[in-house]
Structure 1
Amino acid sequence: MMTMPDASLLDELAPGAAALAVVEADYNIGPSIEAVDVAAPDDRYGTSWSRLERVLGMPAPYWHPSLRHPDLMTAWTPGAPTLQVPVCITPDPGPLLRLAAEEPDGSHAAAAALELVRRIIADDAQSTHQQIAEHVDGCADIASIAVAARPLMPTPPQGVAEEVLRDGWRAILSRSDVLAEQCARLADYFGSSRYFPGSRKVTVDPDSCPEARLWASRLRPSPRTALATYLCDTAQLEILIDPLTDMPAARAHDGKIETIAPQRLPTVSPLAALTVGKHSVWVRTEDATVFLAPQVGGGYTFGYAGGGPHALAQLIAVLLDDITNAAPGYGDARPPAGLAQATEEGWKGRVSPFTLTRAELQALRDR
């Protein structure tokens, strides 16, 4: 985050000083510096490390934004050796470490939490190391910069099997305590939601189609699990659960239901039909079970060339191939031409909800 110097910051941080220089998070000739003089506090200007050295009479210290521990910065003195400093992680991953420490040996939940923390630390340390090497050590003003700290490089984390991570996060997300909820939010922030059983919020109108009505009828009351943090503020709403997918739901005051789409369906019964509803897509399998379609990215849409129709066509293709396949993402390979043409052009005149059988979907795929 950029912090530009101004008159109020000058008064707060350097009362009685002639000027204030702030090292920004971006780079110009070395790390960018913005300064303001007490004689003209409203006139902010950029300066260089070589000019700053001439004013100070010595190289000024540089602390990478990920290494700015306040106690170490205030204790720094000119000529001090460069410190090896652990990177600062924001938000604090402490809840993940606490959860892992409280789990029994061999716990998949502990393995999932520790994998995320280790990956965050390793990635941030490597990124910090590369930025210092490229933008500080390699800049023309390096002789005027005292690099106060470099990242402490952790041991590269060992890979953890995907099935272990999925099982671990499933266990964490099924809990109803505050620590598990904190870990769920951290995992979502740091990109581990791809291992969740579900992470994409969907709004369902039970009156929009028979499939939605049938799905809503099987929801049952449930404790508020950590996975429910994806839903709207549910503090005052009853939490429900789909007993077939274990996905949480909450009925809003307007009668609509906020839920989470699963990333994959818990069935081996092949796809029999697909219904494109209003703001939701439904899958009926050959054993007559109805599921909210698996989803990981943005919503499924149709009638134009874009990410939503692309994802819908790819969803149809992967479920026709194997009902247990995970939901496609927007960056996946282009779907079969016949399905892409249908979702982008062929269905333009249709009005949701409408249903296509497996045979109809196969015919589109095989065009």
Structure 2
Amino acid sequence: MRLDVEGCAHLLHVSTGEVRDWIRRKEFAEPNGMAAGQPFWSERRVLRWLVRGDPAGGERVPIEYWPPAPQPAPYLGAETVHQVGVGLRWRTPQGVVYLFFHHQEWEHGTLELAQHRLAGQAAAIVKVDPDYSHDGPSLSAICPAAPQRVYWPSWTQLSQVLGGPIPFWPAGVRTADLITRWRPEAAPLVVPACPAVDVVPALRLAVAVEPGFIRDTLINMVQIIQQQATDAALLDLEMFQQRAEPRTYIIAAEPMATLSADRDDIPESQRRATWLELLSRSDTLTGQCVRLARRWDGGKDLPAPEVLRVDPEAPAAREWTARLVPCRRTAMFEMVDPEQEAAATLLDPLTDAPAARVGERIHAAIPHRLTTSAPLAEIILEEPIWVRTSDGVIFPAPRHPGFGIGWGNIGRGATALALLIHQLLHDITTVPQPPAGAPSGLLALTARPWPTGTVLTREQLQQALDTPREDI
């Protein structure tokens, strides 16, 4: 962008007359060129001129325009900024630079909040973001004296401003304690990666139960979670080292090796038996483990992993609601009422799945398969979708964890429903699969904008399955 004299004055927050005086005394930046007989400047040239002539003016200038430091900037230690995080601090000729690392212990702090907290203390505030740019982690920054200007310097530019390498902690080993204790002369630490979920409840429960399948299943879950955290930290470290120039960084910490573990180390039948046993317990520690399982992988091994909000006044839902019975609260209700807001805790006696009346809705856990041997009779298109079997019993339609089912357009929901129908026509106890490879005739049927409450009979479903898509 070309700046005339007035534009330069606006950029520098001074009067036009002051800029003209600098030009007349030959104290101002050399113009980039002439246009219509008048000089013009680039923003980059003007800002570089400002910082070279007045280092203290750096607080109004993005650090990408600051001159490289001739020697390493003195490190001032770390400072904890309320609701932002731990900031590393360096003193440069332009002022103090604060560097914050994105990590899971933060309270979702923002640059704007940091600018407010550090008014008058920082010349530049920089945040290391979770993604990557061409030469290292992506950075976002703000000028404390010009808070409207959020900008994005490069990792290399920050290293040049600080006059040396910057410490780096890969995701998973970025804790407030480690960042606070770092010193430039410190050797890299080898530390266990921090899982994204709190595994302590599972460990406490594992040592509280008798040796056996429950303990083995819980320990296996913790080992897998820890291995996933370690793998994620190693991957982040690898990505960083592939992009950043070696002279621009110091590895402050790296993840400790952990034992490899896999879900299949424990048979599926044993995993499911573990959770059936645990869900019947009423202690709070087991409830915490249920929440842990749901946060980790959606509760894949729980007997009813999906939770839906049901309007009990809808026609099909009313029929299902009528068979629910009161039930004392156990760990299984952590799935449907983790905040303990329910006016009533209920049980579906045909599936043993929990339900909770919260306000005007019923929160229902949906089993991963139908507990019946009666063949499919019809599909009822309500919210949620229902399955009726040949003996007249109605069930919430099962679904694959992470994939909803629906109708009305050719999307993932209609695909998932078409595939589920195909499976249920052949095996009523099927476990839903990810939505891929649905028969075209059924997909054409589920993609139609049917009115809510439409009933699709087994004959209609079978005909759609047997009919080419273009004929539906």
What is the TM-score normalised by the length of structure 1? 0.83
Q: 3-state DSSP class of the match of 2:406?
A: coil
Runs of at least 5 residues in structure 1 that lack an aligned partner in the other structure: none
Establish whether residue 8 from structure 1 lines up as the match of residue 8 from structure 2. Answer: no
Question: Residues 234 and 250 of structure 1 are in contact (CA less than 8 Å); yes or no, is this contact kept in structure 2?
Answer: no
Shift, 1:60, TM fit: 2.5
Question: Residues 203 and 259 of structure 1 are in contact (CA less than 8 Å); yes or no, is this contact kept in structure 2?
Answer: yes
Residue 97 of structure 1: aligned partner: 203
Q: Which residue of 423, 443, 451 corresponds with 1:340? A: 443
Aligned AA (1:4):
L
Q: Which residue of 184, 189, 203 corresponds with 1:78? A: 184
Question: Residues 242 and 249 of structure 1 are in contact (CA less than 8 Å); yes or no, is this contact kept in structure 2?
Answer: yes
Residue 189 of structure 1: aligned partner: 295
Residue 457 of structure 2: aligned partner: 356
Q: Which residue of 305, 315, 324 corresponds with 2:410? A: 305
Question: Residues 385 and 406 of structure 2 are in contact (CA less than 8 Å); yes or no, is this contact kept in structure 1?
Answer: no
Residue 259 of structure 1: aligned partner: 364
Shift, 1:157, TM fit: 0.9
Question: Residues 237 and 251 of structure 1 are in contact (CA less than 8 Å); yes or no, is this contact kept in structure 2?
Answer: yes
- Trace 1:23-62 onto structure 2 (pairs within 5 A): 23-28=128-133, 29-35=135-141, 45-62=151-168
Shift, 1:237, TM fit: 0.8
Establish whether residue 242 from structure 1 lines up as the match of residue 348 from structure 2. Answer: yes
Measure, in 2, the Cα distance between the counterparts of 1:53 and 1:213: 65
Residue 66 of structure 2: aligned partner: none
Question: Residues 202 and 222 of structure 2 are in contact (CA less than 8 Å); yes or no, is this contact kept in structure 1?
Answer: yes
The 10-residue stretch of structure 1 (65-74 or 17-26) with the greater mean CA deviation from structure 2: 17-26
Go from structure 1 to structure 2 and tell me whether the alpha carbon gap of 1:299 and 1:133 turns closer, same or farther (over 3 Å shift). closer
Measure, in 1, the Cα distance between the counterparts of 2:403 and 2:149: 45
Q: 3-state DSSP class of the match of 2:258?
A: coil
Shift, 1:238, TM fit: 0.8
- Trace 1:155-166 onto structure 2 (pairs within 5 A): 155-158=259-262, 159-166=265-272
Residue 138 of structure 1: aligned partner: 242
The structure with the larger Rg is 2
Q: 3-state DSSP class of the match of 1:195?
A: coil
- Trace 1:157-176 onto structure 2 (pairs within 5 A): 157-158=261-262, 159-176=265-282
Establish whether residue 284 from structure 1 lines up as the match of residue 388 from structure 2. Answer: yes
Shift, 1:18, TM fit: 5.4
- Trace 1:201-280 onto structure 2 (pairs within 5 A): 201-209=307-315, 212-231=317-336, 234-254=340-360, 256-267=361-372, 269-280=373-384
Choose between structure 1 and 2 for higher RCO, CA contacts under 8 A separated by at least 6 residues.
Answer: 1
Measure, in 1, the Cα distance between the counterparts of 2:273 and 2:310: 27
Measure, in 2, the Cα distance between the counterparts of 1:355 and 1:38: 63
Go from structure 1 to structure 2 and tell me whether the alpha carbon gap of 1:340 and 1:99 turns closer, same or farther (over 3 Å shift). same
- Trace 1:106-117 onto structure 2 (pairs within 5 A): 106-108=212-214, 110-117=215-222
Measure, in 2, the Cα distance between the counterparts of 1:140 and 1:190: 32
Shift, 1:252, TM fit: 4.8
Measure, in 2, the Cα distance between the counterparts of 1:207 and 1:73: 54
The 10-residue stretch of structure 1 (316-325 or 82-91) with the greater mean CA deviation from structure 2: 82-91
Shift, 1:44, TM fit: 5.2
Number of corresponding residues: 354
Shift, 1:66, TM fit: 1.9
Shift, 1:243, TM fit: 1.4
| Identical pairs, percent | 35
Deviations, residues 324-359 of structure 1 (Å, cap 9, x unaligned): 11134xx422322222222223xx4555142513x4
Shift, 1:105, TM fit: 0.9
Measure, in 1, the Cα distance between the counterparts of 2:172 and 2:384: 41
Q: 3-state DSSP class of the match of 2:183?
A: coil
The 10-residue stretch of structure 1 (72-81 or 190-199) with the greater mean CA deviation from structure 2: 72-81
Measure, in 2, the Cα distance between the counterparts of 1:351 and 1:70: 52
Residue 86 of structure 2: aligned partner: none
Residue 58 of structure 2: aligned partner: none
Go from structure 1 to structure 2 and tell me whether the alpha carbon gap of 1:139 and 1:314 turns closer, same or farther (over 3 Å shift). closer
The 10-residue stretch of structure 1 (153-162 or 38-47) with the greater mean CA deviation from structure 2: 38-47
Aligned AA (1:258):
H
Measure, in 2, the Cα distance between the counterparts of 1:140 and 1:213: 60
Question: Residues 208 and 277 of structure 1 are in contact (CA less than 8 Å); yes or no, is this contact kept in structure 2?
Answer: no
Q: 3-state DSSP class of the match of 1:67?
A: coil
Shift, 1:96, TM fit: 1.9
Q: Which residue of 178, 181, 194 corresponds with 1:88? A: 194
Question: Residues 238 and 251 of structure 1 are in contact (CA less than 8 Å); yes or no, is this contact kept in structure 2?
Answer: yes
Aligned AA (2:111):
M
Aligned AA (1:67):
V
Go from structure 1 to structure 2 and tell me whether the alpha carbon gap of 1:192 and 1:306 turns closer, same or farther (over 3 Å shift). closer
The 10-residue stretch of structure 1 (313-322 or 50-59) with the greater mean CA deviation from structure 2: 50-59
Q: Which residue of 214, 230, 234 corresponds with 1:129? A: 234
Q: 3-state DSSP class of the match of 2:205?
A: helix
Question: Residues 130 and 138 of structure 2 are in contact (CA less than 8 Å); yes or no, is this contact kept in structure 1?
Answer: yes
Runs of at least 5 residues in structure 2 that lack an aligned partner in the other structure: 1-101, 103-108, 468-472
The 10-residue stretch of structure 1 (73-82 or 121-130) with the greater mean CA deviation from structure 2: 73-82
RMSD: 3.0
Question: Residues 165 and 250 of structure 2 are in contact (CA less than 8 Å); yes or no, is this contact kept in structure 1?
Answer: yes
Residue 151 of structure 1: aligned partner: 255
Q: 3-state DSSP class of the match of 1:132?
A: helix
